[in-house]
């Protein structure tokens, strides 16, 4: 009986030990399974996070590229519009300058025509009287000049005539009276006297 009990006890003990070992193995297996599942899920989460990060990086790069492209397109369009606006502004400024130049030329032509008209009117109004006045002044100066010259010549002739008459009277007063009818030779004697007296007068 004791041997049987011992055998049974040993069998039960071995069974309990085997059950405990199997339970421990099952627990360790379950822990390993749970740990492996958690690790797999963690690896998946990490991989998903990395993939999400890569997707975010690709999306950010694409967004930046798209932004740069759109910004470049917008800048190019704005530059084209600005260039076109500058060209239009320069064209308008050029047309305005041409219009102002033409207007200035027309005004200058009108002013020149008006000035010419005023000059013609002034000439028609004042040139003939002023020319007549100038001619009258010139004629008066020439008349006074010629009158002075004529007066000088007349005065010189009168002085010469007066001197000649005085010389003749002096010659007659100094020559004795003779009968010219009875002595014809007296006239040749008197002729040199007249010549001698008249010679200084002519000079």
Please give the pLDDT value at position 67: 87
Residues with pLDDT less than 50, the chain? 177-203
Residue 187 · residue 153 · CB < 8 Å = no
pLDDT in tens, 74-114: 888 888 888 888 888 888 888 888 888 888 888 878 777 77
* CA gap 144, 133 in Å, rounded: 16
CB atoms within 10 A of CB 186: 13
Instruction: For residue 200, give every residue at least 6 positions away whose Cβ sits within 8 Å of its Cβ, in sequence order, or none.
Output: 167
């Amino acid at each position: 009986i004791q041997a049987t009990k011992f055998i049974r006890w040993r069998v039960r003990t071995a069974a309990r030990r085997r059950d405990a070992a199997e339970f421990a193995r099952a627990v360790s297996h379950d822990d390993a399974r749970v740990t492996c599942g958690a690790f797999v899920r963690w690896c998946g989460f990490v991989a998903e996070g990395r993939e999400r990060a890569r997707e975010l990086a690709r999306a950010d790069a694409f967004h930046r590229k798209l932004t740069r492209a759109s910004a470049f397109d917008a800048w190019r369009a704005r530059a084209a519009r600005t260039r076109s606006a500058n060209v239009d502004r320069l064209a308008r400024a050029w047309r305005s300058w041409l219009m102002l130049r033409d207007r200035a030329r027309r005004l200058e032509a009108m002013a020149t025509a008006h000035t010419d008209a005023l000059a013609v009117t002034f000439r028609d109004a004042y040139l003939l009287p002023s020319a007549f006045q100038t001619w009258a002044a010139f004629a008066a100066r020439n008349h006074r000049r010629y009158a002075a010259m004529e007066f000088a010549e007349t005065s010189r002739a009168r002085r010469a005539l007066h001197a000649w008459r005085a010389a003749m009277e002096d010659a007659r007063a100094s020559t004795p009276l003779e009968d010219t009818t009875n002595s014809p030779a007296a006239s040749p004697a008197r002729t040199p006297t007249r010549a001698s007296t008249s010679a200084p007068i002519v000079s």
